[in-house]
């Protein structure tokens, strides 16, 4: 089976996909990792095929605006301005990312695509190829962990309500996914 793993983000977003890639490769599947160019070495060092999504996304994150928007020190106004600038830059970057994903998928014609939530094109591809994509979230606490609420909440509400916070967030994610498919 030919499987494409697509992830956009920082190194922590790539590593779960590398582990899955190694697992699948050891079982005889053809695996292609598609990440920002800055992570080529991770895939190649793991012995996996690599397809570049370009350098622009990571360069945007590492820019002064990216650092300011993603938690750098400074005033709320400075962060707001940085987010506005990133919004304009991100439009062109997203177009390039979607185009590269499209080109890879059309060329390789995979049996499965495993992708993270920042990746867009597999959502569209799934419409014509139902059941052939899997969204994988490297975000912690996507499943219930005893004694904890979902990471989106910051209090301990007791076991029953803690468990409900996961159901609530999962319902929201499913609803958003359905809206994206129908829109």
Q: Which long-range contacts (CB under 8 A, 24 or more apart) does 61-66 make?
A: 61/10, 63/89, 65/89
| 26 vs 20: CA distance, rounded Å | 10
Domain regions of the chain by residue span? 2-138, 141-183
**pLDDT tens column, 168-177:** 877 776 676 5
Exposed, middle or buried, 88 (CB in 10 Å: 0-12/13-18/19+)?
exposed
Q: Quote the pTM value.
A: 0.73
pLDDT at 140: 55
The CATH H-level superfamily of 2-138 is Glycogen Phosphorylase B; (3.40.50.2000)
Exposed, middle or buried, 135 (CB in 10 Å: 0-12/13-18/19+)?
middle
Q: In the chain, which stretches have pLDDT less than 50?
A: none
pLDDT at 25: 96
pLDDT at 178: 63
């Amino acid at each position: 089976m030919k499987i494409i793993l697509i992830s956009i983000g920082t190194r922590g977003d790539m590593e779960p996909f590398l582990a899955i890639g190694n697992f699948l490769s050891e079982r005889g599947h053809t695996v292609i990792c598609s990440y920002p160019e800055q992570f080529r070495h991770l895939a190649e060092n793991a012995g996996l095929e690599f397809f570049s999504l370009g350098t622009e996304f990571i360069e945007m994150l590492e820019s002064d605006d990216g650092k300011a928007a993603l938690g750098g020190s400074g005033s709320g106004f400075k962060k707001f301005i940085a987010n506005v600038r990133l919004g304009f830059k991100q439009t062109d970057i997203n177009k390039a990312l979607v185009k590269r994903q499209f080109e890879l998928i059309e060329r390789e014609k995979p049996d499965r695509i495993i992708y993270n939530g920042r990746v867009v094109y597999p959502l569209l591809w799934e419409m014509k190829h139902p059941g052939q994509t899997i969204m994988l979230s490297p975000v912690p606490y996507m499943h219930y962990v005893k004694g904890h609420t979902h990471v989106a909440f910051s209090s301990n509400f007791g076991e029953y309500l803690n468990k409900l916070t996961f159901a609530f967030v999962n319902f929201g994610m499913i609803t958003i996914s359905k809206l994206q498919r129908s829109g």
